[in-house]
Structure 1
């Protein structure tokens, strides 16, 4: 049996095609999830069976450490006694702790090199990463290359394969045909990579976009802390709205004319869909995002004055989307199954 742990919203669409592929192959698996951001709501939206366990540890290091140990212990208690042969996640530290405690091999996916290499090197049996990130970059970031397995493409392409634009989605948001939709996501307020500069850039974006004519701003926030960041701006501007319910994120991005985000996954999704994408992430830049910038598919905003130069116009959203690697879900599934079959996972 394969055990998946989902501890953040992007992991739900990420693993959804993998779950479908495993079910098609009649491979037994089960899912645990952390009650954080929209993880629970997305699992419910797509009717994915799961066991909800634990919450986020908060912004402080002590809270994160306590949560790491506590949720790790709770996961181990839940999984103990099950015939689990492989644990799989995208960056779940608590699953690594639980799997190590139970002696279960762990496959950890990740696509951001400037993260906690030490715990991943120590507790993960294998690290599954995009082939585009150079070995030198990973070695400089402290990763053990002997543990790294590669796959071709972006992790976002695992689920972009199944994307079909819904022409009814944009009208359902209450937008007039010629209104410009700017979708914004605040920088994480509780992530390890939180930076005050990103917050300042986000506030500048709110001021600029909400002052423009024929523009509607839809804000995708994940936590109460992010909502507090928005409170003052929401009172002042009538064309600022917060997304109040879980929706299909890819449909929202496709319906957008501009996307501005303080995080990696949403930016890469939008860029790969061909939507004008602007990153206000001010931490150490992921190699994959640099790659998209070099390809002209993403722009980094470093100073508030750059925001004034963002073009605001309706884009042609009627074109079809063509995925870069349509076989990626099956390829990732095969990696997972081959590790389980090998007996040395």
Structure 2
């Protein structure tokens, strides 16, 4: 069986690589496509995976997203239709373009999704999918509001991160690549997704609240910050403001090792905070509204803190940095919690 994976955000190469490895053990073949956005393509290179890069992010306007999406559909359709051996299944994390192509070419789709708040991509992918794989901490009614039907629902009792963190071993070489030493103090930061469809009404395109947060942290913190901007304008803004106090990796690096050696991870999104917290590193998401999986992770004792205002995020960051010596205890506790959670790879393997 040939399984086609399409990645559109930086979380997905790690997740899809973990799933593909399990499927390959069962004799299946994996092929990968992605869009030219953020660190997605370079993450495939880091993982030593072949990938076809097609299309780009549509930017901060609805018209831009529509135009870029349609162009990418055409590119993906030509590529998949031109393959000598067509995929038997398509898997994505709610990629509208590849899901539309798979549906049009008669390829069944397994959609993985833990973000019902991203309603636009949910509505464009879930109704066209054969199965919807999601963490059981998300209630069914949220999927029904996006067009899901009962027979599509395939919950699992865990979080995505279990798939790629089970065999993790930190690599000191990652620090050396960025000019850091194992004894250096640093935090990891990621701006909010200012150009996502669900953020457009906040009028944050080209800006980031991370500037204000880092300003406050650096008043009392002598370390540096390794920052992963989502867009070029965010990168320019952060570099101009903080100069050599921050490090912006030019390409994808082993972020898991960075989290492991860092004092704190703080992000306006979810993925980095979830990954870092699942390794036992204190983490903060300053996404402005409650998200099911973030609340679940926090509730079961993994060190992820949901702070819904900038001021509360700043206060919590300073508090956690001051308690960084407690990280070893938290790491041991978190590892035990993670071992009891189910991986989405298990669920997907049973569906194919």
TM-score band (shorter)?
A: 0.7 to 0.9
1:70 Cα offset (Å): 1.8
Report the equivalent of 1:63: 64
Q: Is the 8 A contact 1:255 1:317 kept in 2?
A: no
Matched with 1:132 is 137
Taking structure 2 as the reference length, the TM-score comes to 0.85
What is the match of residue 350 of structure 2? Answer: 335
How many residue pairs match? The answer is 334
Contact persistence 2:194–2:204 (CA under 8 A): no
Query: Would you say 1:146 and 2:147 are equivalent positions?
Result: no
Q: Deviations over 1:176-221 (max 9, x none)?
A: 5554311110112321232457956422112112233422111112
Distance (whole Å) between structure 1 residues aligned to residue 348 and residue 310 of structure 2: 43
Counterpart Cα distance in 2 of 1:200 and 1:49 = 33
Deviation at 1:64? 0.9
The Cα shift of 1:255 comes to 1.3
For the aligned residue pairs, the C-alpha RMSD in angstroms reads 2.5
Cα distance in structure 1, aligned partners of 2:108 and 2:118: 21
| 1: CA distance, partners of 2:104 / 2:204 | 39
Aligned positions of 1:1-345 closer than 5 A: 1-81=2-82, 82-116=85-119, 117-139=122-144, 143-170=148-175, 173-175=178-180, 179-194=184-199, 195=202, 201-235=209-243, 238-282=244-288, 284-295=289-300, 297-306=303-312, 307-309=314-316, 310-311=318-319, 312-313=321-322, 314-315=324-325, 321=335, 323-324=338-339, 328=343, 330-337=345-352
> Could you report, residue by residue, the CA deviation over 1:301-339 in whole angstroms, capped at 9, with x for unpaired residues?
3333321352224446666655435873651441342xx
Structure with greater helix share of residues: 2
Moved over 6 A (4+): none
- Name the SS of the counterpart of 2:27 in structure 1: coil
Q: Deviations over 1:89-127 (max 9, x none)?
A: 111110111112212111111001112332233322221
**Distance of 2:296 and 2:344 partners within structure 1:** 22
TM norm structure 1: 0.87
* Runs (5+) with no aligned partner, structure 1: 338-345
